[in-house]
Structure 1
Amino acid sequence: MKEINDKGYTVEYTIKIEDNGICLRVHCNGRAFDIEYGPQDLYNPANKTNPRALEQEYLDALHHIFGDDDDEPGQGMDVDDATDLSDPQDQLSSPDSSAMSECGYEESPVVAFTMAPFLSHGTLETFASKSSTPCLNTLHDVLHPPLFTFSLRVVEGTLVPVNQSPEKMEYVKPYDADVWKARHWRDYPRVKSRDIAMARNVSLLPNTNLVMFNNRICWFKPVIGGIDDAPYKREIDMLFRLRRKFKNLDKPLRFPQLEATVIGERREDMINGLILSAVYPNRGTIADQVEGRRGPSPSPSLCERWYREVEAMVHILHSEGFIWGDVSPNNMIIDEDENVWIADFGGGYTCGWIEPEDMETMKGDLEGLKVLKEYLLDVGPLEDAS
């Protein structure tokens, strides 16, 4: 998930590296910025009374996100558990929710601290002005934006961005996943990113996930760094089985269909992402609606209807031997007619919604339903959903 705000940039991921350092990847007007710095860069000798004030402010922001584990690198700011990896380039973690890419969010303190100098010094406008936005004609353009490298330093008492990009322009290399062990990955068209056009009105939207496939607007769900291959294999096989099982059944089960896989550039059994049928136009997710990110909060009667729809769909899945795997309001999309669609069959869990030990089980799905009922109907602790 990319974190979207109204300041003109999106944050793809935030990870902690060694010695309480931080690394962010930020996107703005068709460019990417890798920003890496740590406490050692924030000492301010110009502040005679408290030269470590910026350092302390940063560490407080870091603690707000990562808690008491400030000495453990490789943690990503994520709604799911972060993945610890040895190579910093592979320690990338972000929420794996295709629906969330259109959502707003409350900016984290560490992101706000990092981006404030970029905004006050006009760095984003200098390196990524709207007037010179690269043409995003194909999915390849979106997956390979120009990449700038920055750090933060205290210069004459002021925290400023420092450009550390090489002279030769670099471009982002998209992440890929190995899916050859998925049983049904060959049952779908395999396409190259260069051959997938972006939706015509993509420039008007706060995301670049809408693409054209078979003359229809579809949703591109990219491979996320820091996540192993299992969720993509699970989603491919789950969507194949769901389509086959429910194709001719008159049951109210609404979920995006898998249309194609976007093959990687290294090997054809590696993918850069999935092309899914889009719930488009839509009203965002249940989380968007309840938290007021897409207008006024929904009425109690509408919230109750949404809960009943999700409850019915989960029970339909279970009756046919399927497990959703990540019951979360961020994975529940509202269409134009205010009906709920369930999305993200890659498994995993969302903290606070499913117990880790119950991940990808029917019990976990029911735990998520119980929390959803509290979330939507604003009631106290409930008996287990059944």
Structure 2
Amino acid sequence: MAPNTPPPPPPPPYEIGATWSSSLTTDVQLNVRVRAHHFRITLLTAHFSSHPAILQSYLRHVELSDPEYIPPPSEEDDFPSDPLDAFYDWAVAPFTSLFHAIPPLEKGRTYTLRDCLFPPESAYTLRVEGDEVVPAPYDAGGSRPVGVLLPASSPPLRDMSTVRVYRPEDVRVRLGEDAVAVPTYPRKVYVKPGCEDESEGEGEEVLCFFKQMLAGDVSTTVTELATYAKMRAAGLGDDVRVSRLVGVVEDEGTGRVVGLLLGYVECGNRTLVCAASDGKGGALREKWAGQVRRSVEELHARGIVWGDAKPENVLVDENDDAWLIDFGGGYTSGWVDKELVNTQEGDLQGLQRIEEFLTGLSKE
């Protein structure tokens, strides 16, 4: 670099997406959202083998970013507390000029799930040139499918009269003033009840929670849709605090269910685990235990199973009321025994252990 030459600007702020890796190799795929553009960056160990120092640095990042990595107590690392952030910072540094070329977010524009789930995409890798790593176009075979393709035995969504089907472009995502990118994992979204038929009028927007479905979530999606259909048919009262299905988002081009729209619980992502541990006192814990029990009993009275009963699947809202969520089935070791999965007996076992968990905190 010539004297007095200013350093290059840092990459613009970006949002981290999914990180794909395998226990069989040290190759990794990083996903970065820059404004409204998706960068898929496939890192191959072989590309760094010609430069031992760069290879060592790369392999160290891979090791530290493994979710199961636990450093020895005596080890001191130069990396910040979040190794995944450090890995991404290292990998995206060579992309500065490419990132800056992406147009900024449009002020006042209405973004939708279409922008979030199906953004324009560029595929790259990193290669060694001299003592530096540089971006190079690289397509490892296309993007992963978005959403779940329901089995042929499932009834088509449009034949299910109790389920309203939305398209990704029907679901709006509001960006904050400080947003740096269209979100990779949108959660708080809005729909207009008349969006499927313009003749119905605009109506007022309804706030929903968007639960995104991944390609492997087939059985979970089928179970969850069936459970929500039972809830609608049962006519549960408002005092039964369970998440309710507002609609399903389907991509017409692929026929895949990309996610569910659920009634939004204003909770700030506060689960029963967090709420019960913040020192608010035994009276609230007794209230939550009673609310969870009542909701489970009301479901069981109508032949509906919660499934995967545990404190993490209970949200506590801003009014300190407890809501049951996640009706896709399954179980979590320590809360429900495997042989009781997806049964009322399993729910009751999980309920008892939740109550024991709350009682134990009250005694501390």
Match of 2:196 in 1: none
Determine which of 234, 254, 258 is the counterpart of 1:272: 258
Task: Report the Cα distance in structure 1 between the residues aligned to 2:130 and 2:311, rounded to whole angstroms.
Answer: 46
- Asked if the contact 1:218/1:275 (under 8 Å) is kept, the reply is yes
Cα 1:60–1:379 shift into 2, 3 Å: same
Match among 167, 170, 178 for residue 192 of structure 1: 167
CA contact (8 A) 2:272 2:316 kept: no
Mapped to 2, the partners of 1:17 and 1:36 lie a distance apart of 16
Partner residue of 1:60 out of 42, 60, 63: 63
Deviation track 1:162-196 (CA, whole Å, cap 9, x = no partner) reads 34257xxx9886333216644584122223223x1
- For 1:161 and 1:361, the matched residues in 2 are separated by 54
- Structure 2 residue aligned with 1:33: 39
In structure 2, relative to structure 1, the CA distance for the partners of 1:171 and 1:55 (3 Å cut) is closer
Structure 2: give runs of 5+ residues left out of the alignment. 1-12, 71-79, 194-203
Give the drift of 1:345.
Answer: 1.1
* Distance (whole Å) between structure 2 residues aligned to residue 56 and residue 267 of structure 1: 37
1:310 to 266, 274, 292: 292
Superposed CA offset, 1:46-93 (max 9, x none):
54xxx86436524533665389xxxxxxxxxxxxxxxxxxxxxxxxxx
Q: Secondary structure at the match of 1:360?
A: coil
**Deviation string for 1:130-178 (max 9, x for gaps)?**
96136552322222112232334556556x4634257xxx988633321
Aligned partners of 1:258 and 1:277 also within 8 Å? yes
The answer (yes or no) to whether the contact 2:14–2:32 under 8 Å persists in 1 is no
Paired position in structure 1 for 2:135? 162
Structure 2 counterpart of 1:224, from 208, 214, 237: 214
1:241 to 227, 230, 238: 230
Change (3 A) 1:157 1:357: farther
SS in structure 2 at match of 1:177 = coil
Residues 25 and 35, structure 1, Cα contact 8 Å, conserved in 2: yes
SS at match of 1:341: strand
Q: Which residue of 2 aligns with 1:141?
A: 115
Cα distance, 1:235 vs. partner? 1.2
Spell out, residue by residue over 1:200-238, the C-alpha distance to the aligned partner (whole angstroms, 9 max, x if none): 4566687523122323122222221333x2211211111
Residues 1:286 and 2:240 are matched in the alignment: no
Q: Is the 8 A contact 1:223 1:273 kept in 2?
A: yes
| 2:5 alignment counterpart | none
Distance change >3 Å, CA 356–CA 14, structure 1 → 2: farther
Task: Tell which deviates more after alignment, 19-28 or 143-152.
Answer: 19-28
Give the drift of 1:246.
3.6
User: C-alpha displacement at 1:113, in angstroms?
Assistant: 4.9
Q: Distance in 1 between matches of 2:44 and 2:104?
A: 31
C-alpha separation in 1, matches of 2:137 and 2:352: 49
1:139 alignment partner AA = L
Equivalent pairs counted in the alignment come to 317
- For 2:320 and 2:304, locate their aligned partners in 1 and report how far apart those are by CA, in whole Å: 25
% identical aligned pairs: 21
CA distance in 2, matches of 1:309, 1:266: 42
Q: Provide the C-alpha distance between the structure 2 equivalents of 1:318 and 1:350, rounded to a whole number of angstroms.
A: 20
The 1:52/1:164 distance shift into structure 2, 3 A limit, reads closer
Q: TM-score, normalization: structure 2?
A: 0.69
* Partner-residue secondary structure (3-state), 2:123: strand
What is the CA-CA distance between 1:37 and the residue it aligns to? 2.5
Matched with 1:260 is 247
Hey, what's the Cα distance between the residues in 2 that align with 1:356 and 1:113?
38
Which secondary structure state, in structure 1, belongs to the residue aligned with residue 125 of structure 2? strand
Instruction: State the Cα distance separating 1:286 from its structure 2 match.
Output: 0.8
RMSD: 4.0
Give the drift of 1:115: 0.9
CA distance in 2, matches of 1:335, 1:144: 32
Contact 2:209–2:262 (Cα < 8 Å) also in 1: yes
The runs of 5 or more residues in structure 1 that have no matched partner are: 1-6, 68-105, 381-386
For 1:255 and 1:128, the matched residues in 2 are separated by 44
Name the counterpart of 1:213.
192
- On the 8 A contact 1:190/1:262 being kept in 2, the answer is yes
Q: 1:53 to 1:13 in 2, by over 3 A?
A: closer
**TM, length-normalised to structure 1:** 0.66
Contact 1:373 1:379 in 2 (8 A): no
In 2: Cα distance, 1:124 partner to 1:373 partner: 52
Q: Distance in 2 between matches of 1:305 and 1:267?
A: 45
Question: Could you tell me whether the CA contact under 8 Å between 1:42 and 1:54 is conserved in 2?
Answer: no
Aligned equivalents of 1:331, 1:9: Cα separation in 2? 26
**Mapped pair 1:175 → 2:147:** yes
Residue of structure 2 equivalent to 1:299: 280
1:115 to 82, 85, 88: 88
Higher-Rg structure is 2
The DSSP-based 3-state class of the residue aligned with 1:132 is: coil
**1:87 — aligned with what?**
none
Decide whether aligned partners of structure 1 residues 343 and 220 sit closer, same or farther in structure 2, where only a CA change above 3 A counts.
same
1:1-40 equivalences under 5 Å are 8-16=14-22, 18-40=24-46
